[in-house]
Amino acid sequence: MSIQQVGIVGAGQMGNGIAHVFALAGFDVKMTDISADALTAAVALIDRNMTRQADKGLISQDDKSDAMKRITTTQTLIELGPSDLIIEAATERETIKTAIFEDLVPHLTPDTILTSNTSSISITRLAARTDRPEKFMGFHFMNPVPIMQLVELIRGIATDEATFKACHGVVDKLGKTASTSEDFPAFIVNRILMPMINEAIYTLYEGVGSVKSIDTSLKLGANHPMGPLELADFIGLDTCLAIMNVLHDGLADTKYRPCPLLTKYVEAGWLGRKSKRGFYDYRGDTPVPTR
């Protein structure tokens, strides 16, 4: 399968990062979002991030200029229909993702590969809502996409070998490394990472340590670059909660029960960096622990 035209659904944190790396790797990218402001902001952010890369000597100015010319945007989802590969990077809610795929299907070419950047939802179940489960895969990038080297490739029960090889070839062309996961809740990275974050929140909830002491302990005691609560804020507490719910529902094991404090923060709208408050308050010059 020859892949050149890539459609990306969603212009948020993940979508713009995915567009960034695909454009730099020579793919023609069309990005869609329901919000015109989100598309404008995404293109501006990609431009700033590529400028930063050029200033560091990681790419040339010509690389940046050529890549930016390869990115187009649209608010009309069905305009992605002629793409060779479509990567859905919308909100981590299955109903939203399913609706997107159902709207896209009538407008696709017979050879279009559909993928989802979901961090936890069943690929087999999403694929079953389309007309091409054999051409459907999980294509899970890590955040921030331009920096993180791993891409999880997740086969659904019906994914064929040609689709897997085509997607693996794309990861190679991006200069990233693929890991292959079976289609179980949260796959590999989040199956391990999210329970650790959830346990850190329980440690805070039970009064074992403060936000600062928990993060300092993991950074200095386990050599983690970020503490687990700082990382949760970076990921988004709503995303963390969604993944824990998928693990808890999908595996039916009480060890995956989301911490009530995580639920409470999400109910308050304290979602981390993107809402300016989470386990830290980001409204000032320096983040301040909220507990």
pLDDT digits over 38-80, tens only?
999 999 999 999 999 999 999 999 999 999 999 999 999 999 9
Q: What angle do CA 280, 283, 286 make, to 5 degrees?
A: 65
Whether residues 54 and 93 fall in one domain: yes
Q: Which of 120, 152, 198, 230 does the annotation list as catalytic?
A: 152
Do 129 and 153 belong to one domain?
yes
Number of domains in the chain: 2
Q: Are residues 142 and 33 in the same domain?
A: yes
Domain annotation covers residue 186: no
Give the whole-angstrom CA distance, residue 109 versus residue 87: 15
| Catalytic (active site) residue 223 | no
pTM to 2 decimal places = 0.88
Q: If 0-12 CB within 10 Å is exposed, 13-18 middle and 19+ buried, where does residue 261 land?
A: middle
CA angle 212, 49, 215 (to 5 degrees): 10
79 given a catalytic annotation? no
* Residue type (1 letter), 212: K
Domain span including residue 212: 192-289
Please state, in angstroms and rounded to a whole number, the distance separating the CA atoms of residues 175 and 184.
Answer: 26
Same domain for 47 and 164: yes
Q: Among this protein's residues, is 83 annotated catalytic?
A: no
Residue 100 lies in a domain: yes
CA distance 115 to 139: 6
Amino acid identity of residue 198, one-letter, is N
Same domain assignment for residues 206 and 173? no
CATH number, domain containing residue 239: 1.10.1040.10
Catalytic residue among 117, 140, 181, 198: 140
Beta bridge partners of 115: 87, 137
- Could you tell me if 25 and 154 lie in one domain? yes
Question: Which of these is catalytic: 49, 117, 190, 198?
Answer: 190
Catalytic residue among 49, 83, 116, 119: 119
Cβ–Cβ < 8 Å for 39, 75: yes
C-alpha of 7 from chain center: 15
31 and 141 both lie in a single domain: yes
What value, to the nearest 5°, has the Cα angle with vertex 198 and ends 193 and 199?
A: 100
- Each of the 291 residues of the chain gets a pLDDT tens digit; together they read 689 999 999 999 899 999 999 999 999 999 999 999 999 999 999 999 999 999 999 999 999 999 999 999 999 999 999 999 999 999 888 999 999 999 999 999 999 999 999 988 999 999 999 999 999 999 999 989 999 999 999 999 999 999 999 999 999 999 999 999 999 999 999 999 999 999 999 999 999 999 999 999 999 999 999 999 999 999 999 999 999 999 999 999 999 999 999 999 999 999 999 999 999 999 999 999 999
